[in-house]
């Protein structure tokens, strides 16, 4: 009987993406400002709302880039926006 493999582990890919983003920012090539948070659901919603209020989506392309629920009903998420509205 053939075993169907599960999804591949993504830890290595996540590390490479994080390193790439850090290198882009350090070299001045980063197009977006990113901030990652790990908060309770109500606090995560409030923090995202704060970003959208401070940096309107139409001008800054603000968005929740990625998110995941972790143990204890906490949300880890990354907010992303352009550095300026120009």
Per-residue DSSP letters for the chain? -PPPP-PPP-HHHHHHHHHHHHHHHHTT---SEEEEEEEEHHHHHHHHHHHHHHS-HHHH--EEEEEEEETTTEEEEEEEE-S---
Considering the entire predicted model, what is its pTM? 0.65
- List pLDDT tens digits, range 24-64: 666 655 688 999 999 999 999 999 999 999 999 999 999 99
């Amino acid at each position: 009987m053939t075993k169907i493999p599960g999804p591949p582990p993504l830890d290595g890919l996540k590390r490479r993406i994080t390193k790439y983003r850090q290198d882009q920012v350090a070299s001045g090539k980063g197009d977006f400002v990113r901030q990652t948070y790990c908060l309770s659901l109500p606090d995560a919603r409030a923090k995202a709302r704060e970003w959208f209020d401070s940096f309107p989506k139409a001008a800054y392309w603000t968005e929740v880039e990625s998110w995941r629920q972790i143990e204890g009903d906490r949300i880890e998420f990354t907010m992303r926006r352009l550095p300026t509205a120009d």
